[in-house]
Structure 1
């Protein structure tokens, strides 16, 4: 700032400024410099405030945060007018009653005959061919079956040597039967109980006393028993036509020395309609994604924009529109130009899904859907390009700069947004993978992860078995029992693959 250039004080006439004492000029100059510094600091503080507000207002609607992290009262209940109808079933509503067990499964049948007429008191005789059936379901006393093997020791009459009998090969030395092992795996892997809770349940419900160390050994036996069928499920994923993939953080300690650098573990999931595969790795990079899907994966991948999936060509990728919607909402919650862009993008996304729901319900033909989407696709492309054309600094961190960078990134993947429009069997969202990974997140929160690599393997294998069997409506306890029987007798383990062969299964079998 020059001494004879009072441009920052326009209201001061030049002649008066020239007659101003030098000391006052210097004071005014310092004040001007101070004002510039304060204005700069104010701008920086406003920027930080905007960033903090965006972080505080981050919810499952505008970020990848789970719904469980949302603050209470986020969802506002819609105000509905109170109905004049009474609570419960309305006239004409078909009632629901408890399903009765077949007569063949009844342990006992007791017939009750009325002795006299309820109207006149006369004696009644005969039988009812269609009596009213009322069943009482009870659980019998749970008493464990204990089989004792006595190994006798006999002394040789010739050399006086003592010889004790050995257990037959079919008798497991662990001291616990296959159903006990399967039940321990069920309580841990399906119902996500801790080892101490499993110990308590086995004692209180089944009367089986078992130590914590034995619980852990039986868990690992169950894990080893399903290794081959889980590997088979992984190969099935590698050969599938459409796969949804996702990942979430997981904690794996270094109790066994397998994680000396204390790296964060990641739980990966690959989902198909009938087979789901889980895997825990100490990395979130491309190598882990290739190991999950197979380096020669040739199917269609449904996922988010995580960089580990970028090795799959865009022509074979479908970006999750649920994630895209969160990005649009985040943009709309910013001020200025971003708000308008975000609102416009959300409107186009809502139009798209209105049409998609009609396709899914069968009220809109696929060819009509393809034609109607063309205009939506063009409008979204224009909006993204409009935002990307804004000039921003390299390190600028304003809300607008974030919007510009996001839109530029989306433009790079724009062709991967629309595969579901033309290819049947491809969903617009990756909700199937996110739903599959949710039980794993709950398990992680209640158990704080695993202590060893073997513990991580148990988690991944049990999640694979449980999720896959539920998709196929198969019994988990029965499958685990068969797998442990096969492992103890060195036979082939049961398969996790669908029992009804589809086109995808035929491709897998031919490839195998």
Structure 2
């Protein structure tokens, strides 16, 4: 029996054969475990599914990029990003009195004067409408009847206030206490954290019909789908998204299963679903699924970082991935076409990648073989984008859609109630909308219009008052009207 290198020869010679066998097996198992732990410590966001926020300070530098030959800064032919000229509320004309050279008196108007605009935010104070509910006694029967307020009076805050609070809490990720502080500082409106939560809840309910219509529309399109953990109270949940280049819909589910996917997109969506390699999408037909091409790159980098027999396979696969994205970038900018890519690049590139994966399965490197085996299982779904118009090779739209929620989760740890989860799932985060979507330009304006169309769920006017006349209870944090 071979002596382990960590045991001196003299000690090994006096060890009974039975103990030698046990020690040899135990030490071999420990060496494998230590190697796995060392490999795990070397992992980072570039070669695993770990988020970039978990990368240590001593992370190895990214490989140098090939010089593009372009200068720093704006490139020739770019679209100018000039300051937008707004409609002026006040015009101040500056006319010269005399010539700057000879001093001659000047008069007249310049048909095309130079304009320099100075923008100022006006001081804002809340517009308060007080609804006084008069209780009058019937002279005939003696019954007391109270006047009914408008629907919005039972809420205590108008749709614009509600939308601003939702935008501060959602897109800007402020806590409820900070939202209350911002409303007080910016608008002079006293409001408490509890009222902010109530306005968030109402905001999440208002666009429910719109959200259902958007989700139904997305189900018939090619869509990117992704999910991320979303705790609710003490329970673990998942925030799902289905996104296109112009639309996004969200759903909070209790699981990350195939049933949760079906609740979002249906059992058999007619379009192509772009996703990661998670098993919840494995039931989709290969021609109806595009597996994200960015995820295998992390596996290929991990093969290289293992520094074993599989490193050579990893380097070859990384090189082929670079060729793929270089060729695809030309398709995106219009220098080539999808049919040309499918006819000229796809056949040889796909054949060589498949040959490398099949060789990696037989390689004497356990982790490399496992990664290649998993890639071969979904190999047809890695190339759907090449022949289906509108489908991209990556799942970026869905991952960008969840980024706002992921950043919010880092500080709030999810939601504490079902209302908070609905606020996230209803798209009220707003920052998740694609930049190309004009509707995402002003979240507060979008929320205001949907809130104005919705009917508040106030109950005050539907029930007889339980307080004496002149003592009608107002919404929280609103002082009672003075009695006469």
Q: Pick one of 37, 50, 60 that aligns with 1:65.
A: 50
Give distance in 1, aligned partners of 2:124 and 2:412: 29
Give distance in 1, aligned partners of 2:437 and 2:413: 30
Give distance in 2, aligned partners of 1:446 and 1:348: 39
Q: Rate the CA distance shift 1:387–1:470 in 2: closer, same or farther, 3 A.
A: closer
Give distance in 2, aligned partners of 1:272 and 1:93: 26
Q: Is 2:79 the counterpart of 1:111?
A: no
Aligned residue in 2 for 1:280: 252
Q: Rate the CA distance shift 1:95–1:287 in 2: closer, same or farther, 3 A.
A: closer
Q: Is 2:177 the counterpart of 1:196?
A: yes
* Maintained 8 Å contact 1:230/1:465: no
Aligned residue in 2 for 1:448: 413
TM-score normalized by structure 1?
0.79
Report the Cα offset of residue 408 of structure 1: 1.6
Q: Is 2:425 the counterpart of 1:460?
A: yes
Q: Pick one of 169, 177, 198 that aligns with 1:217.
A: 198
Aligned residue in 1 for 2:312: 340
Q: Is 2:335 the counterpart of 1:363?
A: yes
Q: Pick one of 133, 142, 162 that aligns with 1:151.
A: 133
Q: Rate the CA distance shift 1:296–1:411 in 2: closer, same or farther, 3 A.
A: closer
Q: Rate the CA distance shift 1:122–1:63 in 2: closer, same or farther, 3 A.
A: same
Give distance in 1, aligned partners of 2:65 and 2:44: 23
**After the TM superposition, which residues 62-141 of structure 1 pair with which residues of structure 2 at under 5 Å, given as runs?**
62-72=47-57, 74=59, 75=61, 98-101=83-86, 105-141=87-123
Give distance in 2, aligned partners of 1:99 and 1:46: 65
Aligned residue in 1 for 2:352: 379
Report the Cα offset of residue 231 of structure 1: 1.0
Q: Pick one of 372, 381, 397 that aligns with 1:432.
A: 397
2:15 alignment partner, SS class: helix
1:488 alignment partner, SS class: coil
Give distance in 2, aligned partners of 1:89 and 1:346: 31
Report the Cα offset of residue 419 of structure 1: 0.9
What are the superposed Cα offsets for residues 436-493 of structure 1, whole Å, 9 maximum, x if unpaired? 1111100111211111112101111134755347542123222211111111279xxx
Give distance in 2, aligned partners of 1:162 and 1:197: 43
What are the superposed Cα offsets for residues 402-430 of structure 1, whole Å, 9 maximum, x if unpaired? 22222222211111111112222111111
What are the superposed Cα offsets for residues 274-333 of structure 1, whole Å, 9 maximum, x if unpaired? 111111111011111111111231211111110011121122111111001111111121
Give distance in 2, aligned partners of 1:290 and 1:92: 46
2:133 alignment partner, SS class: coil
Q: Rate the CA distance shift 1:96–1:270 in 2: closer, same or farther, 3 A.
A: closer
Q: Pick one of 26, 33, 40 that aligns with 1:55.
A: 40
Q: Pick one of 453, 469, 472 that aligns with 1:486.
A: 453
Report the Cα offset of residue 123 of structure 1: 2.8
**After the TM superposition, which residues 248-287 of structure 1 pair with which residues of structure 2 at under 5 Å, given as runs?**
248-253=228-233, 262-287=234-259
Give distance in 2, aligned partners of 1:198 and 1:264: 27
* Maintained 8 Å contact 2:276/2:292: yes
Report the Cα offset of residue 125 of structure 1: 2.4
Give distance in 2, aligned partners of 1:207 and 1:364: 57
* Maintained 8 Å contact 1:244/1:301: yes
Give distance in 1, aligned partners of 2:257 and 2:242: 15
Give distance in 2, aligned partners of 1:61 and 1:214: 43
Q: Pick one of 375, 385, 389 that aligns with 2:362.
A: 389
- Structure number with greater Rg is 1
Report the Cα offset of residue 378 of structure 1: 1.6
Q: Is 2:325 the counterpart of 1:353?
A: yes
Give distance in 2, aligned partners of 1:72 and 1:292: 38
* Maintained 8 Å contact 2:400/2:432: no
**After the TM superposition, which residues 8-27 of structure 1 pair with which residues of structure 2 at under 5 Å, given as runs?**
none
* Maintained 8 Å contact 1:277/1:464: no
1:351 alignment partner, SS class: helix
Give distance in 1, aligned partners of 2:273 and 2:389: 14
Please report the RMSD computed on the Cα atoms of aligned residues, expressed in angstroms.
3.2
Q: Is 2:262 the counterpart of 1:246?
A: no
What are the superposed Cα offsets for residues 68-110 of structure 1, whole Å, 9 maximum, x if unpaired? 22223533596999xxx9x999999998653322xxx211111
* Maintained 8 Å contact 2:227/2:240: yes
Give distance in 2, aligned partners of 1:453 and 1:426: 34
2:256 alignment partner, SS class: coil
State the number of aligned residues.
445
Q: Which runs of 5+ in 2 are unaligned?
A: 4-9, 458-484
Report the Cα offset of residue 350 of structure 1: 1.7
